[in-house]
Structure 1
Amino acid sequence: MRLTTRKVIAAFLSSIAVFTPSSLAQLDGDDTIKSVPLRTHSLLQPYLDQDLQSRWFDWGGDTIIRADQYIRLTSDRQNQAGWLWSRLPLTATNWEIEWEFKIHGQGNLFGDGMALWITKQRAISGPVFGSTDNFEGLGIFIDTYKNNRPGVVFPYVSAMLGDGQTSYDHAHDGKATELAGCSARGIRGASIPTKAKLTYFQENYLQLDLQYKNQDQWVQCFNVQNVTLPQVAYLGFSAHCGELSDNHDLITVHSKNLYSANPNRPGPGRSGKPRKSTKPPKGWNGESESSGGWGWFLLKFIVFAIVCAGGYIGWVAYRTQKRNSRF
């Protein structure tokens, strides 16, 4: 089939239209908030490198890693505790952490639960969902066993800001030390992938969203204004079982550095307090401010390849048409 110059140009232009920056920007949902992936605080299968080690995370206790499926912090056996912690501190001013997990087991009675940590301490086993008490920073607890908290439906998800001296309120399931929380009936043993998304803008708000009812349906658990976390803290996950047990699996972790493209316009569902623009500096995690991260590098490479391919195809079509015109 003969290629004409007009057809080549039309195909070339349609190819470029697919990869325009505007089409990529729509993936963000809120065009006032931009993000840069934090590879140092993210986890995907197979989790381990060829030496069966993780470059960015340490683990311990009863944690088991099955490279093709999950990181199991505790198995469905009594008296287990496991943890996984980032090796590098989370130094981003504003960030979002989305993690997929699965809590399940064989028994009709189960416990105790799992936690996410943003704390100055790291990799220390203890009585608070498998990690140390008297922590300094933030703990997010998915508590599956009710001790003594009347009027509250379990499983229950709560947050605590630790000052390094205050102990977690075990006797009342964290009631005395709770910053915010919500009931999440159905989050254990759900038929869909269960996820949580924690968003933090320094001195503005801390928000937790959960997915456990329907696929791609997020439910806001809490939004707390004027929260300040330690500027240098580690990301961790832990779980604990006592006389009752459960499997507590960590599937994936996606962490992002966030910055506001329009500091005078707050995002939906957030306070109207103007945010400071915290665009990441050049060199952040190997990505520059001008490039916008690996996504923009890939975009530029694709456009460059399309231009080269289009030019070559056009030249071939022109030479073919000119040769045919001689006859």
Structure 2
Amino acid sequence: MAKFVSFLSFFVLFVFSKWIVSGEWNTNDFLKREHTLVKPYQSGGSAMPLWDFVGSTMVTSKFIRLTSDHQSKQGGLWNSVQCWIHNWELHVHFKVHGGGTSLFGDGFAIWYTKERSQLGNVFGSKDNFMGLGILLDTYSNHNGPHNHGHPYISAMVGNGSMSYDHDADGTHTELAGCEAQFRNKPHETYVAIRYEDFTLTVSMDIDGKNAWKKCFEVKGVRLPTGYYFGASAATGQLADNHDIISMKLYQLQSDFDESKQGNDREDYTKIEPGAEYFAPPRDHVDDVKGGFMSGGGGLSGWKLLVIIIVSIIGLGICGMVGFMLYLKKQEDNRKRFY
């Protein structure tokens, strides 16, 4: 019996070891180095091999900082090689941190788009883009009456004519999203973006457990080949450090591709970016960025302060009128005794 138990233990250990080795071999075999960024970054001061950076981006020996914890910054990092892979998975090792405890922002985005290296107002990159944006929004004083908190991760597919609405946190063009408390973590944080057979899946590893947790999955997402990967970030009145530590792209094998031969295969270069499903939009209410004087409807900031002051003045006036009426009544009562 003891020999059988020993043999069984050895067999299980052997199978597990082979599984581990096989898994590592498969992963490394399909790592696409032309779309991968890891340390050391080998920056020449103004450029890196296969990668370009724009705006406030700063390259160090440990990370690439898209924005520092200062106001009004925009930065971007872009792969200079077009991606011709239809099924892929991108792993991004990142860190968002700063001195703010209750107010911070704005966030960063991971891109797969036709355009590259163009600064703009969508988390540091251009609006009306063509392709996919994974938006990691950290703006703590979020816009509108949402049913979720921040930080928040969402996906948007643009066809060149769709604009990202900052005032509504992009809810009118959002495919799907989830809350993800990835800011100021003492451990490593990762996001995985998987695009396989027209299905987009976003997962997170932000709890220090070395395991992926699905954020959302959306079917019917159509993305062409030949676009560029990149990342960008922005700060406004609020700020944070937005750091990219690594980006690794893996090519995925798919039974869907293998099942089609010759002329039956779709020309992925001619696909127009689009999606069959969008999350239902939430009602929009202007936030503090609109300001009281600009006529916004959000009950925050100066609006709330003005309402409080007006309420106090109103209560004071009511109190004074009530007191004067009380004195008049007392005097009328005294006159009845004369």
Shared fold per TM-score greater than 0.5: yes
2:186 to 176, 180, 191: 191
Taking a change above 3 Å as real, the CA distance of residues 278 and 247 of structure 1, as seen in their structure-2 partners, is: farther
- 1:25 maps onto 2:12 in alignment: no
| Distance in 1 separating the partners of 2:165 and 2:227 | 23
Structure 2, unpaired ranges of 5+:
1-13, 261-338
Q: Would the aligned equivalents of 2:189 and 2:208 in 1 still touch at CA under 8 Å?
A: no
1:56 partner amino acid: L
Identify the residue that residue 75 of structure 2 maps to in structure 1. Answer: 82
1:131 to 125, 134, 141: 125
Q: Would the aligned equivalents of 1:202 and 1:229 in 2 still touch at CA under 8 Å?
A: no
> Where does structure 1 differ by over 4 angstroms across 4 or more consecutive aligned residues?
20-23, 49-52
Q: How does 1:1-327 map to 2 (within 5 A)?
A: 24-27=21-24, 36-48=30-42, 53-66=47-60, 68-108=61-101, 109-145=103-139, 146-184=142-180, 186-203=181-198, 205-260=199-254, 263=255, 275-277=256-258
Taking a change above 3 Å as real, the CA distance of residues 49 and 76 of structure 1, as seen in their structure-2 partners, is: closer
Larger Rg: 2
C-alpha distance after superposition, 1:244-298 (max 9, x if no partner): 00000001111111113xx2xxxxxxxxxxx22299xxxxxxxxxxxxxxxxxxx
Structure 1, unpaired ranges of 5+:
1-16, 264-274, 280-327
| Distance in 1 separating the partners of 2:174 and 2:93 | 23
Cα offset, 1:50, TM superposition? 6.1
| Distance in 2 separating the partners of 1:196 and 1:159 | 13
Equivalent pairs counted in the alignment come to 243
| Distance in 2 separating the partners of 1:201 and 1:107 | 38
- Secondary structure, in 3 states, of the residue corresponding to 1:78? coil
The alignment's TM-score, normalised by the length of structure 2, stands at: 0.67
1:65 partner amino acid: V
- Secondary structure, in 3 states, of the residue corresponding to 2:34? helix
Quick one: percent identity of the two aligned structures? 40
- The higher-RCO structure (CA 8 Å, 6+ apart) is 1
Identify the residue that residue 296 of structure 2 maps to in structure 1. Answer: none
Cα offset, 1:21, TM superposition? 7.4
Taking a change above 3 Å as real, the CA distance of residues 52 and 24 of structure 1, as seen in their structure-2 partners, is: farther
Q: Would the aligned equivalents of 2:86 and 2:224 in 1 still touch at CA under 8 Å?
A: no
More helix as a share of residues: 2
1:58 partner amino acid: D
Taking a change above 3 Å as real, the CA distance of residues 278 and 116 of structure 1, as seen in their structure-2 partners, is: farther
Identify the residue that residue 314 of structure 1 maps to in structure 2. Answer: none
Cα offset, 1:202, TM superposition? 3.5
Taking a change above 3 Å as real, the CA distance of residues 49 and 21 of structure 1, as seen in their structure-2 partners, is: farther
| Distance in 1 separating the partners of 2:94 and 2:259 | 30
Q: Would the aligned equivalents of 1:95 and 1:255 in 2 still touch at CA under 8 Å?
A: yes
Cα offset, 1:191, TM superposition? 2.0
| Distance in 1 separating the partners of 2:37 and 2:145 | 34
The alignment's TM-score, normalised by the length of structure 1, stands at: 0.70
Compute the RMSD of aligned alpha carbons: 2.4
Q: Would the aligned equivalents of 1:59 and 1:85 in 2 still touch at CA under 8 Å?
A: yes
Cα offset, 1:116, TM superposition? 0.3
Q: Would the aligned equivalents of 1:119 and 1:230 in 2 still touch at CA under 8 Å?
A: no
1:189 partner amino acid: N
Identify the residue that residue 282 of structure 1 maps to in structure 2. Answer: none
Cα offset, 1:41, TM superposition? 1.0
